[in-house]
Structure 1
């Protein structure tokens, strides 16, 4: 399945995971003395005959722009169970995060190592579409626990912008 991962953004279509890593590294190399937050988050939208999931990869150069891309997944049925929907969103984010951790995160951090004394930093976060308000509050502990078990910081609303803002724009 990992070989079939395809990402896109407004500039490019059909990017492989290798393409995504290349773009992230190029973005970092333009300013390796900056602090970065690499966040991964998924949002979904239930449609009449299917449920659309968008997983976003977002690299924020703090105070100086960002680069991002999206992965589109469709389940061919409407998912009405909030627990199932949020669980799948979390699983899709975990899948991409695991790929980063397995193969690429060290490669990306190595670019910044020579500049750590000059402010270079990279944080990896998973952004969940859950928050303390609304129905998803009952799912916070379970979903954040799945992420922290990976050794990654989990962010919830209002700090989980990659899921509830960036990915959300493309689920409609």
Structure 2
């Protein structure tokens, strides 16, 4: 069952149809324009006291011709340890990827999941790396972590308030 989430474009324009329909329309337009695409999904979060804001992005990369993205923000009102927050980010990305995987398959578009987890064991987020990688790869998705995870580390990071 499709989640009723409020998505928007980078320019702030709200998406008023289900995200699966919007992504289908976007892929159709891009296909007709002859663009080769790769899609990267990632989530980042920011803590403000007991409020945690999550931003999930669906980034479309036109090979050699720029790109565009869709954004969804949501909030949790509670304290969360770093590892739990990292795994919550991963879960949000996997849920979106799973919901849209049929659309991406239909258009033969490569999909990667990007996680904002540091591969350096000196960082706290690294505690969640093995679980995140296992979960994502176990679901059949390609996995990227820092420094190669631009969808979460750069794109989502820019739109998390």
Give the TM-score normalised by the residue count of structure 1. 0.83
Equivalent residue number for residue 45 of structure 1: 46
Q: Secondary structure at the match of 1:4?
A: coil
Equivalent residue number for residue 22 of structure 1: 25
In structure 2, what is the Cα distance between the partners aligned to 1:25 and 1:58? 16
Q: CA deviation at 1:87?
A: 0.8
Equivalent residue number for residue 146 of structure 1: 135
Equivalent residue number for residue 83 of structure 1: 83
Give the TM-score normalised by the residue count of structure 2. 0.88
Q: CA deviation at 1:20?
A: 3.0
In structure 2, what is the Cα distance between the partners aligned to 1:25 and 1:5? 22
Equivalent residue number for residue 62 of structure 1: 63
Aligned residues: 156
Q: Which runs of 5+ in 2 are unaligned?
A: none
In structure 1, what is the Cα distance between the partners aligned to 2:70 and 2:27? 10
Match status 1:104 vs 2:93: no
Match status 1:124 vs 2:104: no
Q: CA offsets per residue over residues 14-62 of structure 1, 9 Å max, x none?
A: 3431123312331332124x3x221110000111241110110001012
Q: Which runs of 5+ in 1 are unaligned?
A: 110-121
Q: Secondary structure at the match of 1:144?
A: helix
Q: CA deviation at 1:78?
A: 3.6
In structure 1, what is the Cα distance between the partners aligned to 2:51 and 2:27? 31
